[in-house]
Amino acid sequence: MTDPERPYKAEFYTTRRGESLVDEFLDELPESHQGKTHQWMKLLEEHGPNLPRPYADVLEGPIRELRVQYGNRKYRFLYFFHGKAIIFTHGILKKTGPVPPGEIEQAKRCMADWLQRYG
């Protein structure tokens, strides 16, 4: 049954070998940073594509970013929507400037693989 508080459902992309790039990234973060990230993911589940900046933004085409900042650490979690599903592809530590094009391309490859298998 769908939670009316959170009409969207977040899930983490897994490779064909069962690896979750998001879980691997989150496991490397301090617990407090993980907690804030999970809170912002819940906000995204509540608001979907209407979650505004500074929380989320569109990167390129269907690829979006969840923008989590903890002190001077800027994390970006790339994702796309498929119906009411939010598919997180991977996370990065953003250093300077925009999200690197290679990270967007990786998210697109993950999206294509996910859509081929489940979409």
Would you say residue 110 lies in a domain? Answer: yes
Would you say residue 16 lies in a domain? Answer: yes
Beta-carbon contacts of 9 under 8 Å, excluding residues fewer than 6 positions away, are 2, 45, 84, 85, 86
Cα–Cα distance list, 21 to 12, 18, 37, 85 (Å): 8, 10, 15, 18
Would you say residue 2 lies in a domain? Answer: no
* 10 — pLDDT class (breaks 50, 70, 90): very high
pLDDT at 96: 87
Could you give the number of structural domains in the chain? 1
Cα 102 from Cα 119, distance rounded (Å): 24
Cα–Cα distance list, 15 to 87, 89, 104, 113 (Å): 13, 10, 17, 8
pLDDT one-digit tens code per residue, 28-53: 999 999 999 999 999 999 999 999 99
Domain that holds residue 114: 9-118
For the chain, how many helices (H) and strands (E)? Answer: 3, 5
pLDDT one-digit tens code per residue, 80-113: 999 999 999 999 999 889 999 999 999 999 999 9
Kindly report the CATH number assigned to the domain that includes residue 102. Answer: 3.30.2310.20
